[in-house]
Each structure stands twice: as structure tokens, then as C-alpha cells.
Amino acid sequence: MSFPDGFLWGAGTSAYQIEGHHGRGESVWDEFCRRPGAIEGGGDGSRACDSYLRWREDIELIKELGLRAYRFSTGWSRVMPGGDRPDPKALDHYERFVDALLEAGVEPVLTLNHWDMPAGLTWAERSSVNAFRTYAEAVAGRLADRVTWWITQNEPWIIALLGYQLGLHAPGVADLGTAVKAGHHVLLGHGAAADVLHAHPGTKAGAALSLFPCDPATDSEEDRAAAIGSDGYVNRWYLDPLLGGSGYPADMREHWERALGHGLDFVHDGDEAAIGGRSDFLGINYYTRRVMAAAPPAPFPWKVVGPSGDVARTDEGWEINPGALRDLLIGLSRRFPGTPLMITENGGVFGDGPTHDGQIHDNRRIAYLRDHVEAVGAAIDAGADVRGYLHWSLMDNFEWALGYRPRFGLVHVDYASGARTVKDSGRYYARLIAGGGTAPALPRIEAFG
């Protein structure tokens, strides 16, 4: 495998998951975390990793790992505490942070919306698009002269599904029609923010989509149709308006009109034109695939059944399938030629903690990392234009409704003290980066004492 010159090897985090509340305005997630039972273990983001105050320490970790790119988000509720006016102190903070990254030789990859919209705003209302545009103007006005790579929206499908369809994420709405409308407004927000960014020469704007390859459980016609429908629901409903040039896919329009019992009147004339044609790249958040079977429509004529047999899984039970990432990248590059791709998230939950020697020997994460980087390399060799790989995540953090139990990080965080410890996977990744993507030998765990 040969990764191209300038390939962006990095890792990512998001503001609400690591920063803590210090100096920030009220977020929809602050409100949601106060709901009894909303967060596993009863945690919240009030402290998280305390990175707003310990950001210099985080920069040193980034340097220690040899990262060449770092994905982070500016907290929407920090920059716009009341949802309407920017806080100069918040922008000062992010300006210092970006300057420190650049001084360290690290490419900033900035996300505008990683789910922490200010309290009082909702994607269920079209007015959120204008609020997002105002926020994008404030951040771009400070940072567009130094930041090239901008992610407007993170995982529109997850926002719609967990925030507005199932009510498992903030703002905790559980209504199918509201979810479809909210997802549309998120995409309109992408278009509005991309227009703001493109007024600044040299910026590249894209959305980061949570993409799940959908495979049929069997070769039956019914299961194949279920996989196609699931792909439309999860992937094509967002890919097509962003990159396809013809707006929302017709089969999924028909699906939603049947499921909702009415037309999509919230999609106004000109909306699809305001979404499409504005993406300079596509961000891909890949974790696993969906194995689908036919089901009675309620309201979806498909269901996730998972892979059959004994397969490798993360501690969260997600199938580990790097081959699906390879095929996804190759398929996207052929379907949307000329659109650069970037892996903006890829990682797994592995709960390894400090052992007898005080170190974290997370060999399963090392194997996961090695195999997925190899899959990216294979896709590049097959012609996919992949510009970077950003592992999720730099450090253990607040994992939304799952609280502090799942650990995704290359760096272990002791939440009580805030102490950071680089895991074996972090050291392995540093060696892989230094070797230009060549996987080093797996580490040996030495005896202690």
C-alpha cells in the first residue's frame, strides 16, 4: 500500500464531549442530561475531560502521537451562548487553539456542529438554518484564514434518528415526522454554512455522514429489497442531495410519503438546489455495517438482524468489518467521481484500563486500527481518492447517552483526576504514522517487576 504525500493522519474529538462547561452557554445537551435516566450512569458534560482549561496538555498529546491532523469542533453553545450573538472570548480561545495546532505542524479539521446547539434552538424549526449561518459567519470570520478543512454538520442521520425520531439524544423528541423535517433542516444548514465558507478563498467545506453499508441477510428478493431500502434511509437520503445533483432519491420520497401519510411540504422549492453542489469533500464516519431482513412495514419494511455466525465485535457489540469500509470507499469514489473522501471517524469501544504496570495494553484496538488502515490503503490502491484518516477518538470522553462507560480513545482519561495516559494503541498509531501507513509489528507486553 502507498498512501499519497500529504495524507492527513489524525484523530478527532468534539467540544461537548471533552471541553467541560467552563464559560459555555446552555446547550440542548445540558437540558437533556438533566432528564432522569437519559444518560447511562447519570453523567453529563459539565466537566468531561476538562479540555477547555487543559487544551495545552491536549496539544502536547497530539504532538506526542505525531498526528498530522486534528479534528475538533467549536462548541456552538460556547461561541453563541444565547444562540444569536457570538462571544468574543470563545472565539479568542479557538483562535489560540488553532494557532497552537499550526505551530505544532498539525492541520486543523474544524467541525461547526457536533450536536451541541444552543438551548432554545431546534432543528425542527426552519429558523435554525439562519441561526447556524450566523454562527458559521462568526467562526469563519476569525478562523477561515487559517483553517482549510471545514465540516459543517456531523452525522445528520444520527441527529434525526436519535434526537428527533427515537428521543435517545438531545433534544429528546420522539416523532417520525419531526425527525424527517429536522434532517432536512440540518442539510439546509450545511448549504448555508458552505456558502459562508466559500466566501473565504481556500476553504474546503463538507459534511461528515455516518455511513453504514447495508447487506441482505440472505439472497432472497425480499431481503435484498430490505437492504436497498435501509441504504436509502441511512445513506442515500443524505448522499444524494449533497453529492448526487438531483436532490432526494425518488424511492425514499415515496417511502416517507407512505410512512408519514402526507407529502414532504417542509421541502420548499429551491431547497435541494441550496443543499447540493456545495461539498468540496465528503467526510465518512464508519463503524460497522447493517445486515438487513424484510419485515412488515411499521413504518419500515426492513429490520436489522446482524451478521450470522461468530464474528469479531467491539465491547459495544458492533461487528468489526474493515472489508466493508474498503468496499464503501471504492463504491463512493465510483458513484461520485471527483469528490475527495476523508475518514472523519473510525474506531471501536474497547474497555481496556490500566493493568499491573499502569499501562493500557489495548491490543484489540491496535488490531482494529491496523486492519482498518489497511482497508483504506486497499481502497486507495483501487482508485479511491481518500485524503485522510482521522481515528475516533484522541481520548476517552463523554459518549453522549452512554455516558462515560464506552472508551474510544487512543489516550486513557481518568475522569476523577483528568489524568491522561497514552494507550498502547496510541503508541502504535504514532509508529504507523511515522512509517507512512506501514503497519509495525504488534507490541510485546513485557513482564513487570
Contact, 394 vs 61, CB < 8 A? Answer: yes
> What are the residues whose beta carbons fall under 8 Å from the beta carbon of 449, sequence distance 6 or more?
none
Output the DSSP codes for 432-444: HHHTTTPPPPPPP
Helices 176-198 and 250-260: crossing angle in degrees, nearest 10, is 140
Cα distance between residue 168 and residue 161, in whole Å: 9
Contact, 153 vs 208, CB < 8 A? Answer: yes
Phi, psi of 250 (to 5 degrees): -65, -40
Cα distance between residue 131 and residue 74, in whole Å: 15
Pick the catalytic residue from 345, 374, 399, 446. Answer: 345
Residue whose C-alpha cell reads 484500563 in the numeric block: 353
| Cell numbers linked to 208 | 461528515
- Residue 388 CA, chain-centre distance (Å), reads 14
Which residues are registered as beta bridge partners of 12? 71, 392
- Residue 171 CA, chain-centre distance (Å), reads 18
| Cell numbers linked to 281 | 469533500
Q: Is 374 a catalytic residue?
A: no
Q: Is 319 a catalytic residue?
A: no
> What are the residues whose beta carbons fall under 8 Å from the beta carbon of 338, sequence distance 6 or more?
none
Pick the catalytic residue from 19, 107, 155, 272. Answer: 155
Cα distance between residue 90 and residue 36, in whole Å: 30
Which has the closest alpha carbon to 270: 241, 249, 243? 241
Contact, 413 vs 49, CB < 8 A? Answer: yes
Phi, psi of 319 (to 5 degrees): -60, 135
Which residues are registered as beta bridge partners of 70? 11, 108
| Cell numbers linked to 103 | 505551530
Cα distance between residue 174 and residue 165, in whole Å: 5
| Cell numbers linked to 435 | 512509517
Catalytic residue list: 155, 345
